[in-house]
Structure 1
Amino acid sequence: MLGITHFGFFLVAVFLLNVTPGPDTAYIVGRSVAQGRGAGLVSALGISAGCCVHTLACAFGLTALLAASATAFTVIKIVGAIYLVYLGVRLVLTKHEVKPAEGAAQATPPAAAARPLRQLFVSGFCTNVLNPKVVLFFVSFFPQFVSPGSEHKALAFLTLGAAFVLMSTVWSSFVAWVAGSVTQRLSGKAGVKKWLDRTVGSAFVGLGLKLATATR
């Protein structure tokens, strides 16, 4: 079909890759912890949109050009690392106000510190698009499942990309739902949420530093 080979193995490999924690998962968990399931789901959609960009780039040859250019790889790596560290520091420094006693007037509305959903979507999109590891993954992994003699290579890459994005979206949404559900149970416990944010934020900083020192 369209020159796609070993499609079943491709699906198994994608599933295993999805359940392996990485920057995308960390971002989704972080936003779910900070703002609940809705924020996590929107963040997951932003990451899926980023995967769509990589799919189109892979299908039409742009990803291969980036992978072949040492300068392009370095620029994307540095920008992506800085962005991850920035997200991590924001989580670590997030202020958590203690929930006032029942009947007491609230000094700040509960949603005052919440980030707009549009901003969460864009942040998730950038987290994925600016990760050079994702670029290299698409250019090295996808071609293994497309026959060299296929007359419809672009369509084959788009089909594989669609399957990848669909599976990733389902898994990311599940992660956001679980993380958001746990957060709801911890609602009002500022101390617990503070340490969750610090843990996830520290993981982001670590991932960013690791990305900055990544080699081709």
Structure 2
Amino acid sequence: MLTSIVAFIGAAFLIAMVPGPSTVVIVRRAVVNGRRTGMATVLGNECGVLLWGLAAALGLSALLLASQVAYDVIRIAGAAVLVWMGARALWQARRAGGPDAEPAETAEVSCRRAYWQGLITNFANPKAGVFAVSFLPQFVPQGAPVLLTLLAFSVIWAVVDLVWYLPLVWLAGRMGGVLRRQSVRRRMEQISGAVLVGLGLRLAAQS
């Protein structure tokens, strides 16, 4: 069991280091709204990880492998979410500094909204479900209770993700004073918006 846990932690770190939609959303929130909001996004993302792990443990995410329709429904919904968030970022970048600029969000609203963005971004990605149901069981040692072991691995997966994203949020918050300047923030919104739209279109186009 100890060997399986060590191997799983190493593999989970490698997976966490691969940038994706969650990384873009987390870094954008940390830069635009600060570390507190960035952490709220991370917590939402990790709740999504736990939900996918729970679905894998219960066999629910296996439906994504067995049903093309179920996979496509989540894929299109996830792509629409990414495109919507990217388009919103591009729109905010266009309005930044103008007379009709949107008012700044309060910390409470921003954290709540950031949490849901992190959760939805993770949970609306069907690849995460396919990954969970195909990745987690490989590390269950022979003779171990499958359900409890998968649940434990899901928690470890979320903790590894959290450990990886904490330095990113800290670094983004550290640089926030510079990055939140109007011209830099506008460019940041443009880049992150374009990346999110591109990731959404890519997800929609893939089978």
> Displaced runs of 4+ in structure 1, greater than 4 A?
107-110, 112-115
> Is 2:153 the counterpart of 1:160?
yes
Secondary structure at 2:61 match in 1: helix
Match of 2:87 in 1: 89
Match of 1:103 in 2: none
Match of 1:62 in 2: 60
Answer whether contact 1:41 1:177 (CA < 8 A) is retained.
no
Amino acid corresponding to residue 35 of structure 1 in structure 2 = N
Match of 1:120 in 2: 114
Match of 1:80 in 2: 78
- Map 1:114-193 to 2 at 5 A: 116-147=110-141, 149-150=142-143, 152-187=145-180, 189-193=181-185
Q: How far has the Cα of 1:19 moved from its partner?
A: 1.2
Match of 2:10 in 1: 12
Cα distance in 1, alignment partners of residues 102 and 130 from structure 2: 44
Q: How high is the sequence identity, in percent, across the aligned residues?
A: 37
Q: Which moved more, 1:59-68 or 1:19-28?
A: 59-68
User: What is the RMSD computed on CA atoms of the aligned residues?
Assistant: 2.2
Residue correspondences, number: 203
Match of 1:104 in 2: none
Amino acid corresponding to residue 166 of structure 1 in structure 2 = V
Cα distance in 2, alignment partners of residues 133 and 110 from structure 1: 35
Answer whether contact 1:36 1:184 (CA < 8 A) is retained.
no
Cα distance in 2, alignment partners of residues 121 and 108 from structure 1: 24
Amino acid corresponding to residue 211 of structure 1 in structure 2 = L
Secondary structure at 1:116 match in 2: helix
Amino acid corresponding to residue 200 of structure 1 in structure 2 = S
Cα distance in 1, alignment partners of residues 21 and 179 from structure 2: 24
Answer whether contact 1:30 1:201 (CA < 8 A) is retained.
no
Secondary structure at 2:97 match in 1: coil
Cα distance in 2, alignment partners of residues 112 and 60 from structure 1: 39
Q: How far has the Cα of 1:113 moved from its partner?
A: 7.7
Answer whether contact 2:26 2:169 (CA < 8 A) is retained.
yes
Match of 1:30 in 2: 28
Secondary structure at 1:93 match in 2: helix
Answer whether contact 1:5 1:146 (CA < 8 A) is retained.
no
Q: How far has the Cα of 1:110 moved from its partner?
A: 7.0
Cα distance change of structure 1 residues 77 and 108 upon mapping to structure 2, 3 Å threshold: closer
Amino acid corresponding to residue 160 of structure 1 in structure 2 = F
Answer whether contact 2:42 2:162 (CA < 8 A) is retained.
yes
> Is 2:195 the counterpart of 1:211?
no
Cα distance change of structure 1 residues 108 and 151 upon mapping to structure 2, 3 Å threshold: closer
**More helix by percentage:** 2
Q: How far has the Cα of 1:192 moved from its partner?
A: 1.0
Considering only CA atoms, is the larger Rg found in Structure 1 or Structure 2? 1
